[in-house]
Structure 1
Amino acid sequence: MKTVVPDITTAVQIDATIGESPIWSAKRQRLLWIDIMGGKLHAYDRAAGRNETLEIPAIVGALAEDPLGTLTLGLGSDLARLTSNGEVERFASPPHAEPGFRFNDGKYDSQGRLWTGLMNTEGRKGSGILYRYDPDGIWHVFDRGFDLPNGLEWSHDGRTFYFTDSHKGEIHAYDFEPNSGDIGNRRLFFSIDPALGKPDGLTIDEEGFFLSVLFDGSAILRIDPEGKVERKIELPVPRPTCCTFAGDGRHLFVTTARVGLSDADLQVAPASGALLRLDYEEALQ
């Protein structure tokens, strides 16, 4: 495994409690991301170097954009859409929504089906659920027993689905049928001792390698399609959460958290809570 220390710049200097779920919206030409506990939706205009913020009246556990460009938010254990005039409209709740649960991360597949995890906010082991929510409003439960459901992604050919359990330090792979949306044949794709960092957000690069961001690990792991770590990209914050590519495919943006960090921790890592940026091509050299 190769370790690299790339040049990191701060795209947005902000004190997000838990920055998360960065997505590049081609429709809006903005890098969108949320502050979970702060109840905020951020939109970063990289051309202008300006960040705009929309206050959300709830904990925001997930942000996803469907194939038509409509934004979906996970507000507690409700799904909501952001309307064209900037209003937030709740439209669905999962069948197992209970007090103490909320959505955590989510992405749409190519057919416009939302995949998302429901987590217990008190850390109850084995209570996490993997859902699929279809455009016709039907919920499907595809797997259970997760401690902290988190980052998810698909292989480039669309035939394999990946799902992260942060507290167990595991990423699972499933066979995926793009037309029906069915998954099966769960197997362990990657594991790490959580003491070394908890795998959080998950994304795929152009070469088919997976980028797993290590919360409490100050790094991003680049994992090959066989589940082996190809390199470790070190970051200047202890609690990075997720990453995504901008429209050019070269610049990688990383959300970060300051939750649970002491004043001493923040003095050492003042970028905690900010939106970071790095040149991915340079990081691969």
Structure 2
Amino acid sequence: MGNLEVISNIKAELGEGPVWDARSGAVYWVDIEGKRFFSHNPSSGQLEEHDAGQRIGAVVPREQGGFIAALENGIFTYDPASREWIEWSDTERDLTGNRFNDGKCDAAGRLLAGTMSTIGEPKAGALYRFDLDGRVDRLEEGVSTSNGLAWSLDNQFLYYIDSNTQTVAAFDYDLESGTVSGKRTVIEIPKEAGTPDGMSIDAEGMLWIAHWGGFKVARFNPQTGELLQEIRLPAPLVTSCAFGGEHLDELYITTARVGLSQEKLEQYPLSGSLFKVKLAVKGTLSIPFKG
């Protein structure tokens, strides 16, 4: 892939969760283990860093301004002007062996975010929906590593990755109520291809999945499970991807360096960078949190 660019070689410990904000023309992404998140404006080249003070699994722009974020100890809002974090929901704060991981908003502007164990406890996590009025519903339990989220173009299906299953699941999704049903497996990822992590959906309804340990992002057809395309990266731990840019034809890709040996870090010095690649296909807009 000749047009792969390194946008920021910030060496994130665990870069994750890129999200494009069309209003500000900026891409945001987190460094979970670095307990911080970043913003990059491609037109000005400006890069900003925000300290979260605890592990941060996902950050999402908020319609009224600022952000909502899935942190280690719950859901928080953040005001970048005052740099103030305010607790919005204490969901799972009592589960000290868990933390929040990936999160994304549905077309109604509700936040979906899931949890995982930090102490290797299998099936200790869950997937939650956070409504605009603060109501919380658990959509799925017995999750090991709650990860990628994407909705079909007509919002009738929610695609979801629990990384440990090596699969992408689909649920029937009721956008009006935010409820799920009819879970089934639509894509299976062989272990030798890496572990499925974050994902995004393009304007043709195809899924782009980051492969942890697989050096790549791969495009799949969720109707058939077929692998359509691969983008190789000079970093083994590929974590997530999101479409951005003025025409939504640029894919931003996050990577990690956590747990890599010194030898591997010397071999793949761009691990932890944010990458960008121009594509022939366009993506879909990220939805801000409307609560």
* TM superposition score normalised by structure 1: 0.93
One of 182, 187, 196 as aligned partner of 1:185? 182
Give the conservation status (yes or no) of the 8 Å contact 1:167–1:194.
Answer: no
Report SS of the residue matched to 1:267: helix
Deviation, 1:95, is: 5.2
Is contact 1:66-1:108 (8 Å) kept?
Answer: no
Query: Hey, what does 1:81 align to over in structure 2?
Result: 77
Cα distance in 2, alignment partners of residues 51 and 252 from structure 1? 18
Identity of aligned residues (%): 32
1:22 paired to 2:18: yes
Please list every run of 5 or more consecutive structure 1 residues that lacks an aligned counterpart in the other structure: none
Alpha-carbon distance change, 157 to 217 in structure 1, aligned in 2, over 3 angstroms: same
Q: Would you say the 8 A contact 2:150–2:201 is kept in 1?
A: yes
Aligned 8 A contact 1:79 1:91 in 2: yes
Residue 68 of structure 1 deviates from its aligned partner by 4.7
Q: Which residue of 2 aligns with 1:58?
A: 54
Deviates more, 1:215-224 or 1:74-83: 74-83
Change (3 A) 1:242 1:53: same
Aligned 1:72-111 pairs, distance under 5 A: 72-83=68-79, 85=81, 86-94=83-91, 97-111=94-108
Match of 2:29 among 15, 27, 33: 33
Shift of 1:193: 2.6
Contact 1:168–1:194, Cα closer than 8 Å, also in 2: no
- Separation (CA, whole Å) in 2 of partners of 1:70 and 1:207: 31
Give structure 1 regions of 4+ aligned residues with deviation exceeding 4 angstroms.
66-70
Q: CA deviation at 1:64?
A: 2.0
Map Cα deviations across residues 24-82 of structure 1 (whole Å, 9 max, x no partner). Answer: 11222211111111111101010122311112211111212345554111121311111
Between 118-127 and 84-93, report the one with greater CA deviation: 84-93
- Matched AA of 1:29: G
Question: 3-state SS of the aligned residue for 1:264?
Answer: helix
TM-score by length of 2: 0.91
Instruction: Work out which of the residue numbers 128, 136, 153 in structure 2 matches 1:139.
Output: 136
Give 1:252's aligned residue.
251
CA contact (8 A) 2:152 2:158 kept: yes
Asked if 2 retains the 8 angstrom alpha-carbon contact of 1:95 and 1:139, the reply is: no
Partner of 2:164: helix, strand, or coil?
Answer: coil
Correspondence for 2:239:
241
5+ long unaligned stretches in structure 2: 283-291
> What are the Cα deviations for residues 128-164 of structure 1, in whole angstroms up to 9, with x where unaligned?
2111111121111111122211010100000000110
C-alpha distance in 1 between matches for 2:6 and 2:67: 25
* Corresponding residue number in structure 2 for 1:213: 210
Corresponding residue of 1:11:
7
Q: Per the alignment, in what secondary structure is the counterpart of residue 33 of structure 2? A: coil
Given that residues 20 and 27 in structure 2 are in contact (C-alpha distance below 8 angstroms), is that contact kept between their aligned partners in structure 1? yes
| Cα separation, 2, equivalents of 1:95 and 1:53 | 27
Q: CA RMSD in A?
A: 1.8
Q: Distance in 1 between matches of 2:177 and 2:273?
A: 39
| 1:47 matches 2:46 | no
1:198 and 2:195 aligned: yes
Provide the C-alpha distance between the structure 2 equivalents of 1:24 and 1:140, rounded to a whole number of angstroms: 26
- 1:17 maps to a residue whose letter is E
8 Å CA contact retained: 1:123, 1:148: no
Q: Equivalent residue of 2:165, what SS?
A: coil
State the AA in 2 paired with 1:132: R
